[in-house]
Structure 1
Amino acid sequence: MKNVRIYPQSKSQAQSGRGKASVWIIEPEWTSSRQPEPVMGWTSAGDTLSQVNLKFSSQSEAEEFAKSKGWRYTVTAHHERTIKPRHYGDNHVYDPDVEK
Structure 2
Amino acid sequence: MSQARIYQRPKNAMQSGRARTDRWVLEFEPAEAQQPDPLTGWAGSGDTRNQLRLGFPTLEAAQAYAAKEGIPHHVVPAPARTLKLQAYADNFR
Assess if the C-alpha contact under 8 Å between 2:30 and 2:50 holds in 1: yes
Q: Secondary structure at the match of 2:18?
A: coil
SS in 2 for 1:50: helix
Give the SS at the match of 1:11: coil
5+ unaligned residues in a row in structure 1: which ranges? 94-100
**Structure of higher CA gyration radius:** 1
Report the Cα distance in structure 2 between the residues aligned to 1:73 and 1:6, rounded to whole angstroms: 7
RMSD: 1.6
Percent identity reads 35
- The alignment covers a number of residue pairs equal to 93
Letter in 1 for 2:30: W
1:71-86 alignment runs, 5 A limit:
71-86=71-86
Which deviations, in whole Å up to 9, do the C-alpha atoms of 1:3-34 show, x marking residues without a partner?
A: 10111122334432112111111111111221
TM-score, with length taken from structure 2: 0.86
2:57 aligned partner: 57
Q: How does 1:1-100 map to 2 (within 5 A)?
A: 1-93=1-93
TM-aligned CA deviation for residue 85 of structure 1: 2.1
2:69 is matched by which residue type in structure 1? K
CA distance in 1, matches of 2:32, 2:86: 48
Could you report, residue by residue, the CA deviation over 1:38-82 in whole angstroms, capped at 9, with x for unpaired residues?
110111111211111111011111111111111111111112331
Contact conserved, 2:2 with 2:30, CA < 8 A, in 1? no
